[in-house]
Amino acid sequence: MSISLNTCILILKEHHLLKSSAVQDTVQTKMEYVSYDSRDVQTNTLFFCKGAGFRPTYLSMAREDGAIAYVAEQPYPEGKGMHALIVRNVAKAMALLSAAFYRFPQDDLFLVGFTGTKGKTTSAYFLKGMLDQINGGHTALLSSVNNIVGTAPEDTFKSSLTTPESLDLFRDMRRAVDNGMTHMVMEVSSQAYKKNRVFGLTYDLGFFLNISPDHIGPNEHPNFEDYLHCKLQLLVNSRKCIINAETARFDDVYAAATTTTNPDSIYLFAREGFENPKLKKQIDFRYKSIETDLAETQFTLETVSPQAHKLPIAGDYTLQMIGDFNETNATGAIIGAGLAGMDHDSCAAGIRHVTIPGRMETVTTKEHGLIVVDYAHNKASMMALMKFMRREFANPRVIVVVGAPGDKGISRRAGFSESLTAEADKAFLTTDDPGFENAEEICEEIDAGIDHSKCATVIELDREKAIHDAISEATANDVVLLCGKGADAFQKIRGVDTPYEGDMAVARRVISELEK
Ligand SMILES: CC(=O)N[C@H]1[C@@H](OP(=O)(O)OP(=O)(O)OC[C@H]2O[C@@H](n3ccc(=O)[nH]c3=O)[C@H](O)[C@@H]2O)O[C@H](CO)[C@@H](O)[C@@H]1O[C@H](C)C(=O)N[C@@H](C)C(=O)N[C@H](CCC(=O)O)C(=O)O
Ligand SMILES: Nc1ncnc2c1ncn2[C@@H]1O[C@H](COP(=O)(O)OP(=O)(O)OP(=O)(O)O)[C@@H](O)[C@H]1O
């Protein structure tokens, strides 16, 4: 793979990004590697100086290790002797040049993006489960749980970001295409648009699932409007848009979709019975619950509008993942599969067995009720989870083990207090990635907002002990919700990923001790 200086200059000029260039010799010079990290540089690298934490010494290090050109928003003396491309926005430049360096792999993929405050990972896994039916397992996935860019074990790996940095994204896409993948399903976070990680990409399908206040804080979004604005960009950059008509701020969401997409390529879905007389467009798909038990959810999907009738996806579906919110996630994903050319039977077969690590994983015990491990970690997801449990399981006693992370999402703590007060009978407040904060103080902050006449609390910082105590005190008709960590096998403490057995492993161990 390579890119010439000449090509870089042309692309940057075409997008009005080039402020100036200082090119040492011939513009035919070819760069054979691209990087934004001085610790990852090879001979003839094109190096991007980007980010709040960038230090000019990284450029010196990159030059010493073989970088011959750099892209930055200002010239650096440390880059003396290198070709310099000075740009208006380095993140945008990096996205465009990385796409070109990796030979535009997006053009060889059916590309699907999911955005929403909740349900991105679940919906992405559901859609992959279905698409794998028609392409022999060749659906790539970029998600906060795992990235999958091929069928070999080494093609599955974990990424630290939900949506990768643009350079990594295009490299992963190229690897997927070279591995024979035909479709790619990815989660698109609001940060991805804020930081231009997906700048220049057009999605075949873009999904908007829901929005509620989250990710607002010093390192993320200054306010809710900024968060919403970033999320809407997925619809602006999609050829077909699929929208949950029940989302908050529907009018803004629909308006964003119509800026670039004709209404006949916008699809709306909603649960049966949902009405909004102000909707400017007919709802295309309706879904309704049939039955839920401890192991399965059954629901039915109806095509309502003439546009929806063209997709042969109406009928009953069974999910292995419980939770009425998973019917919502599944409905969106099934519409996506329909738009990719699938019919009801292949969708039903594909979605039937999808499970997702750390999402609604359940264990039924003899004497200690139903134990659920779930990634719910903000007010909206905690409410959805607890309400579902109360509704479906004859108003059980709800015992919750939960903590809030340090250093981020500070507003989530009040959301935990509110949701626990509203729907939990007892909460064990515990450690969840405290980072550089004090876990006890985080728990006390949540506790201070709880109305103890409605929800009793215990602060137990040892998460394993909190799980043990919660399960021990539960009786046969109770539910114990182990929230927030999902499948994580670590606790982030003072900058170190400290190994942690994992909520499900701890729960299984406790159950086998209690029930032997
Ligand atoms: C605010 C933000 O988006 N930050 C991301 C961004 O940081 P940055 O560009 O400021 O880079 P930096 O880490 O400060 O370092 C500056 C530069 O120096 C380079 N460097 C650094 C050290 C060195 O020795 N040599 C060197 O060259 C780095 O490679 C980097 O290019 O780029 C880094 C990778 O290049 C990311 O790790 C980092 O994510 C931070 C840590 C993060 O966690 N972001 C969160 C808020 C996020 O994006 N979350 C969303 C999910 C939200 C959701 O659930 O909806 C996500 O998509 O993951
Ligand atoms: N449609 C939904 N509405 C409300 N809550 C949901 C929905 N889907 C999932 N959840 C809850 O949110 C949790 C996280 O789900 P999921 O991982 O699919 O969302 P996500 O959007 O990827 O989240 P994050 O951005 O936090 O990684 C689930 O464990 C569940 O408790």
pLDDT in tens, 422-444: 999 999 999 999 999 999 999 99
Q: Is the CB of 91 under 6 A from ligand 1?
A: no
Query: What mean pLDDT do residues 474-500 have?
Result: 94
Spell out the domain ranges in the chain.
3-101, 105-285, 361-514
Nearest CA to ligand 1 atom 48: 191
369 is in an annotated binding site: no
Nearest to 263 by CA among 240, 233, 229, 237: 240
pLDDT over threshold 70, residue 26: no
Q: Which ligand is nearest to the CA of 61?
A: 1
Cα distance between residue 282 and residue 272, in whole Å: 13
Helix (H) or strand (E) holding 259: helix 250-260
| 431 annotated as a binding-site residue | no
- Write down the ipTM of this complex: 0.95
The DSSP annotation for 15-63 comes to TT-EEEEE--S-TT-EE-EEES-TTS--TTEEEE--STT--HHHHHHHH
Which tens digit of pLDDT belongs to each residue from 262-312?
999 999 999 999 998 888 789 999 999 998 877 789 999 999 999 999 999
What phi, psi does 264 have (nearest 5°)?
A: -75, 0
Ligand nearest to the CA of 143: 2
Q: Which of 191, 198, 216, 492 to mutate to test the pocket of ligand 1 (most atoms within 8 A of CB)?
A: 191
pLDDT tens profile 175-209: 999 999 999 999 999 999 999 999 999 999 999 99
Number of H helices, E strands in the chain: 16, 26
**Strands of 203-208's sheet in order across:** 156-157, 147-148, 139-142, 183-187, 110-115, 203-208, 238-244, 266-271, 285-292, 297-303, 315-319
Homologous superfamily of 3-101: MurE/MurF, N-terminal domain (3.40.1390.10)
To which CATH superfamily is domain 361-514 assigned?
A: Mur ligase, C-terminal domain (3.90.190.20)
384 vs 106, residue with greater confidence: 106
Q: How far is CA 499 from CA 201, 352, 488, in A?
A: 37, 33, 9
Check whether 358 is labelled as a binding-site residue. Answer: no
Taking the centre of ligand 1 as the mean of its atom positions, its distance from the CA of residue 183, in whole angstroms, is 27
484 residue type, one letter = G
- Comparing CA positions, the residue from 114, 78, 388 lying closest to residue 243 is 114
Question: Which amino acid is it at 138?
Answer: H
Pocket of ligand 2 (CB under 6 A): 116, 118-122, 144, 187, 209-210, 325, 328-329, 359, 374-376, 380-381, 384-385
Q: How confident is the model at residue 27 (pLDDT cuts 50, 70, 90)?
A: low
Residue 468 and residue 510 in contact, taking contact as beta carbons nearer than 8 Å = yes
Asked if 105-285 and 361-514 have one fold, the answer is no
Q: What is the pTM of this model?
A: 0.93
Q: What is the 3-state secondary structure (H, E, C) of 350-419?
A: HHCCCCECCECEEEECCCCCEEEEECCCCHHHHHHHHHHHHHHCCCCCEEEEECCCCCCCCCHHHHHHHH
* Class of the domain covering 105-285: alpha beta
Rounded to the nearest 10°, the torsion over CA 68, 74, 78, 79 is 20
Q: Do residues 214 and 227 lie in contact, with contact meaning Cβ atoms separated by under 8 Å?
A: yes
Q: Do residues 185 and 139 make contact, with C-beta atoms less than 8 angstroms apart? A: yes
DSSP-derived pairing of the beta strands 361-364 and 370-374: antiparallel
Residue reference for tokens 């934490």:
53
3 state SS of 242: strand
How would residue 29 be classed by pLDDT, with cut points 50, 70 and 90?
Answer: confident
Q: How confident is residue 479, by pLDDT bands cut at 50, 70 and 90?
A: very high
Return phi, psi of residue 235, to 5°: -70, -35
Residue 180 to residue 159: CA distance in whole angstroms: 21
Mean of per-residue pLDDT scores for the chain: 95
- Cβ–Cβ under 8 Å, residues 127 and 336: yes
For residue 392, the model assigns a pLDDT of 84
- pLDDT single digits (tens) 344-398: 999 999 999 999 989 999 999 999 999 999 999 889 899 989 999 998 888 899 9
